[in-house]
Structure 1
Amino acid sequence: MREQQLPVAQFGQMSEPRFELIPTHRIVERAEAALPPHATLTITCSPKKGVDATIETAVALAPRFARVVPHIAARMVRSEEHLEAVLDKLLAHDLEEIFVIGGDERQPLGPYRHGLDLLEFLATREHGIRRIGIPAYPEGHPDIDNDILAKDLLAKAPYAHYAVTQMCFDPDRVLAWLRRQREAGLGLPFYLGIPGPVKPDKLLRIATRIGVTDSIRFLRKNFKLTGKMLRGYDASDLLNAYAPHLNESDHGIAGFHMYSFNELDTLKKIFARIAI
């Protein structure tokens, strides 16, 4: 699988708005009520619920939305047979895209220790999946050295069609990181991870847990953003900060990936101000 050429993203004309959902009770009904049917939905995979819950949610949402992308956590796949059953179920419901992550399990449940292991295995099989996404970490990862992250991203890129960045609050840092990836020869399109609207205490808990400590310091030093956080974080500030750079080839931005935290009603109001 080869890296694809960079698509052109246009602010206000995103053909593929992406919303990340957590598979919880009534999320199917809530998503249908709040989000546009032409949206792309991605469904997370948590240690508590596992891969199968992610697949069930994706299958339930598939008839209602243009594209639904389940996360497949490598460490949570129990066996080769389990993986084949998951892929067969996706294809039976015309789901031909997945997002491959390592997963939060400390010990793998099966033969795949890392996302790269799963990607390499898929490359040896006829599986019917037509599009694969991978994660990227402009601000690093709490459990992985930055040098390893950089090498891992380059190793995964030949198996992927695009990457999605972790949620970040500092657009200048993200843009500088994107330029470095281009200089290193990485040609993947990037969807920029934007924290969706969420109460400040919940957002800060999540940001700290996934390791974006630099973003937290940035927020605390930036009075304007910190003040907005206290009144309720507004993702439109970050969207507007990235807007001038969406068509620049040295960044390769394909669009935005909204981490919704299942706060769908508030998220709908933000995108009502943007033509999607």
Structure 2
Amino acid sequence: MSVPVGIEISAQATPAANQAWLARSGLGTTLRPAFVTITDRTGGQVLAPGWLDMVERLTAVRIPVLPHLTGLYQTPGGLKQRVQALTALGVRRYLVLRGDRKVNHRPTGYYPHATDLLRALHRDPRFTLGAAADPLRHPESATWGTELFYLRAKVQAGAQFLVTQFCFDDDALVTWLARLQAAQLQVPVIVGVLPLTSRDRLRQAERLAGHTLPPALVRQFAACPDESAVRAFGIRLARAQINFLRQQGVGVHLYTFNDVELIHILKALIN
């Protein structure tokens, strides 16, 4: 069964750095994933030259790009400028997010939820829009009823596919997919996979997801004698999860953190 496998990357600060990183990674030449999402470290506040340059370079070599669009700190004027610049490059698909809250930064109030940004973008029929989901339930959702209510709201606001947070519990993933089916949320699903390549990455994964890692998984990593063993074990787990997700018929979204060695190791699964 053929399912899409894409990767998430971050743009470099300058066009020259983008060019160097792309050459090392092979992205656009020997590596051609089904799509590439590009994170926006500014939270949508600045149209960074390096970010726009990365989009341009990938679209030029016919790699489907899904730039992140975040709403929490965005203004209508800033959104218009960003979308116009991306549309000029041929971008028609977006991953639409609320965005992470930042300490000492006040949201603009224009797009406080992903649904608000989805509605604004959905007015243009040229765009295909994706939204975020969490197989373990978003930390701000008290119940599964609440979680499914907001997922349905995203779909009604214009989301045509869902991209999930990473999840290290395959049984929970299967249960979540069944919940979507029972709730008649019948949109394509792409599941996030995060290779746990260091002990720092384990701690970062818990912080980013807002969930603790499965205790059995924590014990397995604790038994690794050194960082090299942690990395090897984490990559084996990621490889196994990608194969599992393919068997389930859902797409894969690989969080790379721009790790070129990791990309090369998993290239056969990505292409």
TM-score scaled by length of structure 1? 0.80
What is the CA–CA distance in structure 2 between the aligned matches of 1:156 and 1:81, rounded to whole Å? Answer: 23
Task: Give ranges in structure 2 of 5+ residues lacking alignment.
Answer: none
Shift of the 140–28 alpha-carbon distance from structure 1 to 2, 3 Å rule, reads: farther
Q: Residues 224-258 of structure 1, C-alpha deviation per residue, up to 9 Å, x if partnerless? A: 89656464411112123334322xxxxxx2x1110
State how far apart, in whole Å, the 1-side matches of 2:36 and 2:231 are. 28
1:40 and 2:35 are equivalent in the alignment: yes
Whether 1:156 and 2:154 are equivalent positions in the alignment is yes
Please name the residue that 2:100 is paired with. Answer: 104
Q: Is the 8 A contact 2:148 2:183 kept in 1?
A: no
The within-5 A match list for 1:169-208 is 169-196=168-195, 199-208=197-206
CA RMSD of superposed structures (Å)? 2.6
Distance (Å, rounded) in 2 between the aligned partners of 1:126 and 1:48 = 22
| Map 1:76-91 → 2, pairs under 5 A | 76-77=73-74, 79-91=75-87
Aligned counterparts of 2:223 and 2:90: Cα–Cα separation in 1: 43
1:137-177 C-alpha deviation (Å, 9 max, x unpaired)? 01233344344332111101131121111011111111111
Write out aligned runs for 1:229-240 (5 A): 229=230, 231-234=232-235, 235-240=238-243
CA 1:84/1:149 → structure 2, altered by over 3 Å: closer, same or farther?
A: same
Distance 1:59 1:50, change over 3 A: farther
Change (3 A) 1:27 1:243: same
1:10-51 CA-partner distances (Å, limit 9, x unpaired): 2xx44x421001223434532354231354110112347845
Amino acid at match of 2:199: D
SS in 1 for 2:107: coil
Distance 2:19 2:129 in 1: 23
Question: What secondary structure is seen at the aligned counterpart in 1 of 2:168?
Answer: coil
Task: Say if 1:220 and 1:57 are closer, same or farther in 2 by CA, change over 3 A.
Answer: same
Partner SS, residue 52 of structure 1: coil
Distance 1:95 1:142, change over 3 A: same
The answer for the alignment partner of 1:23 in structure 2 is 11
Paired AA for residue 101 in structure 1:
L
Q: Which amino acid aligns with 1:74?
A: G
> 2:7·2:255 contact (CA, 8 Å) conserved in 1?
yes
Give the direction of change, closer, same or farther, for the CA distance of 1:49–1:98 in structure 2 (3 Å limit). Answer: closer
Amino acid at match of 1:236: R
Once residues 176 and 114 of structure 2 are traced to their aligned partners in structure 1, the CA distance between those partners, rounded to angstroms, is 21
Q: How many residues align?
A: 251
Match of 1:219 in 2: 217
Partner of 2:244: 241
Unaligned runs of 5+ in 1: 1-9, 247-252
Matched, 1:145 2:148: no
Inter-CA distance 229–148: structure 2 relative to 1 (3 Å threshold): farther
Q: Is the 8 A contact 1:207 1:216 kept in 2?
A: no
Q: In structure 2, which of residues 229, 252, 255 is the aligned counterpart of residue 256 of structure 1?
A: 252
Give % identity.
25
Distance 2:65 2:115 in 1: 22
